[in-house]
């Protein structure tokens, strides 16, 4: 995924942070890690105020699936975070023009 920041979107996360592993605190309902509530980035806990979008992508190469969440946090910024369903690892992802 390539990072593309819209001129009107001054709140997107820094693209240099993409791919960084993060710790996510989530609500587990029907399945584990169903809805992220907050996450830790560089020693700070960011509370998620809203999930703007949610989608899944499957890699043809690895046959793995990722669940993506575009979230808006209490710091006024928006982030894309993703859960690798095979490993259970959460990462900060680059802004994707196809999902904003």
The domain ranges of the chain are 21-99
CA-wise closest residue to 24 among 5, 4, 48, 1: 48
pLDDT score of 95: 74
- What is the DSSP code string of 34-60? -EEEEEEETTEEEEEEEEEEEEEEE-T
Tokens of 20: 């960084």
pLDDT at 79: 96
Match 């859960």 to its residue by tokens: 83
Q: What is the largest CA-CA distance in the chain?
A: 38
> What residues in the chain have per-residue pLDDT under 50?
1-10, 97-98, 100
Does this model's pTM top 0.85? My answer is no
Q: What is the pLDDT of residue 5?
A: 38
pLDDT, position 3? 34
pLDDT at 7: 37
Predicted pLDDT at 13: 61
Burial track 3-26 (b if 16+ CB lie within 10 A, e otherwise): bebeeeeeebbeeeebeeebebeb
**How confident is the model at residue 60, as a pLDDT?**
79
């Amino acid at each position: 995924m390539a990072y593309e920041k819209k001129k009107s979107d001054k709140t997107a996360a820094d693209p240099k942070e993409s791919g960084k592993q993060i710790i996510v605190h989530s609500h587990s309902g029907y399945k584990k890690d169903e809805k992220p509530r907050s996450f830790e980035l560089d020693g700070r806990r960011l509370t998620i105020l809203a999930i703007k979008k949610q989608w899944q992508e499957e890699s043809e190469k690895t046959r793995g699936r990722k669940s993506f969440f575009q979230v808006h946090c209490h710091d006024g910024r928006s982030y894309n975070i993703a859960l690798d369903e095979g490993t259970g690892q959460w990462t900060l992802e680059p802004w994707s023009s196809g999902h904003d």
